[in-house]
Amino acid sequence: MNENPFVGALEWLADPMRWSGPAGIPVRAVEHLGYTALGVLVAALIAVPIGLYVGHTGRFKGLAIGAAGVARALPTLGLVTLFALLVGIGLTAPLLSFVILAIPSLLAGAYSAVESADPATVDAARAQGMTEWQILTRVEIPLGMPLLIGGVRGATVQVVATAMLAAYVGSGGLGRYIFQGLGSQDYPQMIAGSLLVIVLALVLDLALLLLQRVTAPRGTAAA
Amino acid sequence: MSWVLDNLDVIAGYTGAHLVQALPPILLAFVLSLPLAKLANSRGWLRTGVTTTSGLMYAIPSLPLFVLLPGLIGTGVRSPLNIVVALTLYGLALMVPTASDGFRSVSRDVLGSATAQGYAPGARFWQVELPLAGPVLLGGVRVVAVSTISLVTVGGVLGVPSLGMLFVDGVRRGIAAEIAAGIVATAVLALLTDALLVLLGRVLMPWHRGRKEGRS
C-alpha cells in the first residue's frame, strides 16, 4: 500500500457519490438499523414476557440462566451461515439468527429487572391489596426499568454486530462495504465500512445508555 | 455426519489454529487486568473512566475491529495477530471492571488485619487480597473465555484460519453438515474450557467449594 489506508478511507467516505443511490451509505445505514430494530423487536416479544414471568414467579430460573449461557457459547457466524444455507437467501435467515442471539440478553435483562425489586417493597404492595399483575406492572417493572433497558442495550449491540455478518450471506446493511472491499482487495473501503459500523454501534449504545439513565425512577440509584 | 467423519483431520487442524488465537487473549486479559484494576481502584476518576471505556469498547462489533487493526499495528489483514490483539482488548473490557469489583469486594478490615500481622504489601496482595478476590475473578475469566472462543470464528470471513473456516467453506460449498460441525465444535470447545476453569477454581480455591459462585 503506497498511501496510508486511513487517508484512503476518509477519501472514500468524502466522495459525494457514496452518499446517494440505492447502494449509498444512507440506504445501507437505514437497512442496518432496520434489521437491528426488527431483530430486537421480535426477540423482545418472545423473551421479555418469559423473563418477566421468570422474574416475578422465580420459576424456571435455572433453566433461563442455563439457556443464556449456552447461547453465549454459540458462534454468531455459524448461525448466520447455517440459516442462510437452510432457509435460503433473504431476510428470514438473518432475522432468525438475530432473534436467537438477542434473546439471552433480553431474557436476562427482564428477569433481573423484576428480581431487583426489594422484596419488602413487593410485599408492601401486596399488603396494600395490589393484584399480582398490578405488582408486576406498577412496582416491579418501573423499578427495574433501567435493567430492562440494559437488556435491550446488550441485545442491540449483539444484533448490530450480527447484522454486519448477514451481509456476508447476501443481505444489505453496512457490512456490504467491508465484504465488497475484501473481495476487491480495497482495504481503504473496508476501513471506511468498519468506521461506519463502529459509529452506528456507538451511537445506538450511547442512546440506550441515556434511555437507561432517564428511565431510572426518581429516588433510586441508577443501575 | 459422513462429512464430519471424512474430515476429522481438517476439523482437528482448525481446532488447533482456533486455540492458538483464543488462549493468548484469555490469558493476557486475565494477567493484564490485575494491575489495571488495581490502578483503576486507586483513583476514583480513573475507575469511572475505565468503566465507561470498557462499556464503549464492548459495543464495537468484532469484525470492524479485526479490519481496523492491521492499519493501526501494521499486520496483514489475514494475520491471526489481529484476532489475538482485538480479542485481548475485548477481554480487558470485560475483565478490568470485574477485577476492579473483585478487589473492592475484599473487606478493608481483612486487609488491615493482614498488615497488622506483618504482611508486606506484596505478600498481602498475593496471599490475602488476590485469593479473596479469586471467585469474582474466576467468574470474569469464565465469561471472557466463552465469548473469546466464540468470537475467534468471525476471523474466518477475512480468511484467518479457525473453526470459523468451516462456516465460510460450508456456505460456499453448500454443506450444512460442515457448518453444523463448526457450531458444535466451537460450542464444545467453549464449554470444555469453561468446565476446565471451574475445575481449576476448585483446585486453587478449595475453601470456596460448595458456596455460591460469583458469576456475573
Residue A4 scores a pLDDT above 50: yes
Chain A residue whose CA is closest to B181: A78
**Do A182 and B158 lie within an 8 Å CB cutoff?**
yes
> Who contacts A42 (Cβ-Cβ below 8 Å, separation ≥6)?
A95, A98, A99
How many Å separate Cα A138 from the centre of its chain? 26
**Do A178 and B149 lie within an 8 Å CB cutoff?**
no
Residue B141: which domain range? Answer: 2-208
Q: B154 is written with which cell numbers?
A: 468471525
Q: B201 is written with which cell numbers?
A: 477454581
Q: Is B214 within a domain? A: no
Closest by Cα among A82, A94, A96 to B171: A82
* Nearest chain A CA: its distance from B138 CA (Å): 15
> Who contacts A199 (Cβ-Cβ below 8 Å, separation ≥6)?
none
* Nearest chain B CA: its distance from A104 CA (Å): 13
Helix (H) or strand (E) holding A142: helix A141-166
Classify each residue of B23-59 as buried b or exposed e, where b means 16 or more C-beta atoms within 10 Å of its C-beta.
bbbbebbbebbbebbeebbeeeeebeebeeebbbbbb
3-class secondary structure per residue, B80-103:
HHHHHHHHHHHHHHHHHHHHHHHH
pLDDT digits (tens, 9 = 90+) for A172-209: 888 888 888 888 888 888 888 889 989 998 999 889 98
pLDDT digits (tens, 9 = 90+) for B50-101: 888 888 888 888 888 888 888 888 888 888 888 999 999 999 999 999 999 8
> Residue B215: its pLDDT value, please?
44
Residue B213 scores a pLDDT above 50: no
Which residue is associated with the grid cell 467453549?
B190
More confident residue, B8 or A41: A41
Q: Which long-range contacts (CB under 8 A, 24 or more apart) does A163-166 make?
A: A163/A32, A163/A35, A163/A36, A163/A39, A163/A94, A163/A98, A164/A32, A164/A197, A164/B61, A164/B63, A164/B64, A165/A76, A165/A77, A165/A80, A165/B63, A165/B154, A165/B157, A166/A35, A166/A80, A166/A93, A166/A94, A166/A97, A166/A98
> Residue A223: its pLDDT value, please?
43
Q: What is the C-alpha separation between B210 and B9, in angstroms, rounded?
A: 40
Q: From chain A, pick out residues whose CB is under 8 angstroms from the CB of B151.
A: 75
How many Å separate Cα B209 from the centre of its chain? 23
Q: Which CATH number does the domain housing residue B118 bear? A: 1.10.3720.10
- What's the total number of domains in chain B? 1
Q: From chain A, pick out residues whose CB is under 8 angstroms from the CB of B154.
A: 75-77, 165
Q: Is B216 within a domain? A: no
> pLDDT above 90 covers what percent of chain A?
12
pLDDT digits (tens, 9 = 90+) for A45-56: 999 999 898 888
Q: From chain A, pick out residues whose CB is under 8 angstroms from the CB of B65.
A: 194, 198
pLDDT digits (tens, 9 = 90+) for B101-154: 899 888 888 988 998 998 888 888 898 889 889 988 999 999 899 999 999 999
Q: Within 10 Å of residue A128's Cβ, how many Cβ atoms?
A: 10
More confident residue, A75 or A217: A75
Type of residue numbered B85:
V
pLDDT digits (tens, 9 = 90+) for B42-53: 888 888 888 888
Q: What pTM was computed for the model?
A: 0.85
Superfamily the domain A28-215 falls into? MetI-like (1.10.3720.10)
Q: Is B103 within a domain? A: yes
Q: Return the top range by mean pLDDT from A138-147, A163-172, B206-215.
A: A138-147
ipTM > 0.90 for the complex? no
Closest by Cα among B134, B49, B130 to B93: B49
Give yes or no for B180 touching A (CB within 8 A): yes
**Do B67 and A76 lie within an 8 Å CB cutoff?**
no
- The mean predicted confidence, pLDDT, of chain A is 85
Q: Is B215 within a domain? A: no
> Residue B43: its pLDDT value, please?
85
